Amino acid sequence: MPPTHVPGSVPVDGGTERAVGHDGGMHAAEFILYVADQARARDWWAATLDNAPSLDVPGMTEFDLDGATLGLMPAAGITALIGDGLRVGDGQRCEVYLRRSDADRLLARAVEAGGTLLAPMAERSWGEEVGYVLDPDGHVLGIARA
């Protein structure tokens, strides 16, 4: 995958671009999901978020989440980086939880892009209306109405 330029990103490492915050600095928080197929994961998240990645190079795709960065890294890449001490496998050990004014549209796009609906938008015990979907790699995406 060739590097892509997206407004709001800055070049680093010989032209590779990194997501920056609204103030021009790197986001303080980046959450990285390990994926089986980087291109498939990139396409699903791009369709779901209705947004192009801010970085898309072999080994890492990033999306600007308005204050944080969502990264997608091939599972083989993190294993090579860290070694045998890490077991990357199936199962839900975390979720990405987004509060969005377009929650219904985001949930619909996630399913249309190939996600699996776990629970439709509904009022939850903590006072938010939230729907849940699995991405193609089995990560849980919770979508709350902002």
pLDDT tens-digit profile of 69-111? 999 999 888 878 887 777 777 677 789 999 999 999 999 999 9
CB under 8 Å to 108, separation ≥6 — which residues? none
Contact between 125 and 102 (Cβ < 8 Å): no
Q: What pLDDT is attached to residue 30? A: 93
Averaged pLDDT for residues 14-24: 47
Q: Given pLDDT bands bounded at 50, 70 and 90, which one contains residue 38?
A: very high
Rounded CA separation 120/18 (Å):
34
Could you tell me what percent of the chain has a pLDDT over 90? 64
More confident residue, 129 or 21: 129
Q: Which two tokens stand for residue 131?
A: 């729907």
Rounded CA separation 105/37 (Å):
25
Domains of the chain by residue range: 1-89, 90-146
More confident residue, 2 or 17: 17
Rounded CA separation 132/119 (Å):
5
H-type helices in 1-146, by residue range?
A: 38-49, 75-82, 103-112
Q: What pLDDT is attached to residue 28? A: 87
The CATH number fitting domain 90-146, selected from 3.30.2010.30, 3.40.50.150, 3.90.1170.10, 3.30.720.110: 3.30.720.110
Contact between 137 and 41 (Cβ < 8 Å): yes
CATH class of segment(s) 1-89: alpha beta
Which amino acid appears at position 79 of this protein? T
Q: What is the pLDDT of residues 41-54, one digit of tens each?
A: 999 999 999 999 99
Q: What pLDDT is attached to residue 25? A: 56
